[in-house]
């Protein structure tokens, strides 16, 4: 899939026959694109005669260098109102799909940046730069795909002429009544929001149940070792990374867990020595969920050590930790952040695209996450954001969860109305949670629905309440 508008398209399958071999190379594929590959074993040349049922796998091709570069020149056209319109050709065969374009333009005084979504580009065939001061300008454009950023184009030069005095007078006469209307409209909206919040604070605290009891445990949950089992002597722990929901998490080295790598730096999750057998089995079963996944934007499971004690789960090492902590470290007021600046709009959109790609993969595999949040996304050394391991971060951010009426812990601030009402979790409820994650990215991981208790959030969301738009949040995000 290389275009969001193609999500509902039925794609043709291309077939090839492999004789007397157990491997083959598929060529001429799009770069950084997810493919489904079906394999049938046949013992007769006739089509579909004597063939087995298919086995399939999802696989993503590697990114291609230069695939996201914009080919050809950037051109411009003058427009009224001190504006110009920029046009450029799209990359012909990008890495996955193009998320957005970033325009860097400026005069001799300073450079400015503007983001243009792929949808906006396809609608208008370019982008309009408005309210430019008279003078000489240069502009360059960069494409951003699922794989990252392309190269900047060569600069294009243009000139904006000054307005006449008569034009300025006409513009003032038009803008003045509009400004008055906007101020009045803003006051009306503020009064409406204040009235809604005051009414919601008066609601009662009736008992609300929103999920089944997660404490249920049966013999069917018993963990059985399989091909993911790793010998304990192949694992070496080096240093503590932090406390996980079941026990300590360490950085270490594992031998032979990644093909063609003698040793691999990994994250090693452990279970507390005092944990019950039920907790150890739950720990392994939650890790086993990830055995089915192989996606660039989903954290990989590398192995399991279930024989002996302590029980270990070997994961892909995400050196920059969870997205929530990473976003908070970028706040200007953080003492331990003397260098890093808050993420740009293009970086925020790239984060969102990476998370969306991982969630789309899970959906394609008929998996509902049920707990998507910034705390459950991880950041790699190269700043790639991936969907984290599932069910293992609950105790790290204990205050993000709420236990209602003796039932299981609920991430109420990330849950959709239907999940809160009926305990129903679907792809649609994951999309709701993804919207809250976008809000977290825009606010550098503030707590959703600040000022409301968990009980009030339950009531507020079930009655149709929505998060307020963050201050200074771009419309595109």
Query: Where in the sequence numbering do the catalytic residues fall?
Result: 371
DSSP 208-236: ---S--TT---GGG-----TTB--GGGEE
The secondary structure of residue 400, as a DSSP letter, is: G
58/325 Cα distance (integer angstroms): 31
Q: Which two tokens stand for residue 439?
A: 């809000």
Q: Which two tokens stand for residue 404?
A: 């209602």
86/403 Cα distance (integer angstroms): 54
Own/partner pairs for 69-72, CB < 8 Å, 24+ apart?
Answer: 69/143, 69/150, 69/151, 70/141, 70/142, 70/143, 70/150, 70/153
Binding residues for ATP: 269
Q: What is the dihedral of CA 47, 53, 55, 58, to 10 degrees?
A: 70
| Cβ atoms within 10 Å, residue 408 | 17
Q: Which two tokens stand for residue 254?
A: 């594992």
The secondary structure of residue 153, as a DSSP letter, is: P
345-364 vs 427-442: helix axis angle to the nearest 10?
A: 160
In a 10 Å sphere around its CB, with 0-12 CB exposed, 13-18 middle and 19+ buried, how is residue 222 labelled?
exposed
In sequence order, which residues have a C-beta less than 8 Å from that of residue 299 and are 6 or more positions away?
290, 315, 316, 318, 378, 386, 387, 388, 389
477/142 Cα distance (integer angstroms): 18
Cβ atoms 354, 385 nearer than 8 A:
yes
In sequence order, which residues have a C-beta less than 8 Å from that of residue 97 and are 6 or more positions away?
1, 2, 3, 4, 118, 145, 146
In sequence order, which residues have a C-beta less than 8 Å from that of residue 267 and are 6 or more positions away?
241, 249, 250, 251, 252, 314, 315, 316, 317, 318
Q: Which two tokens stand for residue 95?
A: 């890495």
Hey, is 141 helix, strand or coil?
strand
Count of all residues that appear for the chain in the document: 477
């Amino acid at each position: 899939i290389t275009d969001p508008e193609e999500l509902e398209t039925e794609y043709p399958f291309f077939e090839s026959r492999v004789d007397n071999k157990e491997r083959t190379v598929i060529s001429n594929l799009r770069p950084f694109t997810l493919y489904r590959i079906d394999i049938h074993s046949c013992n007769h040349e006739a089509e579909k005669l004597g063939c087995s049922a298919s086995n399939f796998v999802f696989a993503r091709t590697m990114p291609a260098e230069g695939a996201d570069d914009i080919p050809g020149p950037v051109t411009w056209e003058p427009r009224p109102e001190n504006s110009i319109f920029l046009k450029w050709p799209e990359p012909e065969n990008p890495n996955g799909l193009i998320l957005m374009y970033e325009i860097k333009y400026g005069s001799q005084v300073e450079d400015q940046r503007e983001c243009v979504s792929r949808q906006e580009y396809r609608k208008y065939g370019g982008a309009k730069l408005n309210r430019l001061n008279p003078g000489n300008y240069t502009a360059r454009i960069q494409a951003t795909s699922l794989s990252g950023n392309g190269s900047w184009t060569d600069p294009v030069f243009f000139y904006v002429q000054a307005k006449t005095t008569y034009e300025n007078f006409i513009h003032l006469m038009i803008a003045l009544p509009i400004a008055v209307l906007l101020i009045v409209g803003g006051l009306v909206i503020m009064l409406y929001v204040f009235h809604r919040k005051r009414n919601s604070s008066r609601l009662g605290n009736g008992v609300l149940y929103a999920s089944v009891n997660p404490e249920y445990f049966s013999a069917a949950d018993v963990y059985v070792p399989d091909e993911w089992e790793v010998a304990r002597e192949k694992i070496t722990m080096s240093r503590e990374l932090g406390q996980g929901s079941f026990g300590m998490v360490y950085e270490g080295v594992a031998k032979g867990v990644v093909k063609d790598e003698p040793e691999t730096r990994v994250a090693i999750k452990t279970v507390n020595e005092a944990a019950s057998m039920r907790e150890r089995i739950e720990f392994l079963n939650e890790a086993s969920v990830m055995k089915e996944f192989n996606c660039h934007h989903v954290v990989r499971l590398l192995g399991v050590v279930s024989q002996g004690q302590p029980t270990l789960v070997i994961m892909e090492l995400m050196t920059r930790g969870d997205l929530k902590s990473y976003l908070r470290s970028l706040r200007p007021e953080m003492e331990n952040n003397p260098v890093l600046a808050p993420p740009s709009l293009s970086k925020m959109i790239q984060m969102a695209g990476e998370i969306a790609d991982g969630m789309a993969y899970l959906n394609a595999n008929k998996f509902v996450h049920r707990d998507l949040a910034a705390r459950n996304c991880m950041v790699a050394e190269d700043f790639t954001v991936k969907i984290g391991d599932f069910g293992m971060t609950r105790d790290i951010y204990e205050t993000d969860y709420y236990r209602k009426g003796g039932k299981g812990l609920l991430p109420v601030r990330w849950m959709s109305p239907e999940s809160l009402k009926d305990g129903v979790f679907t792809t649609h409820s994951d999309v709701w949670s993804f919207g809250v994650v976008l809000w977290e990215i825009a606010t550098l991981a503030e707590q959703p629905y600040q000022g409301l208790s968990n009980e009030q959030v339950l009531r507020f969301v079930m009655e149709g309440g929505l998060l307020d738009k963050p201050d200074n949040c771009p419309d595109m995000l």
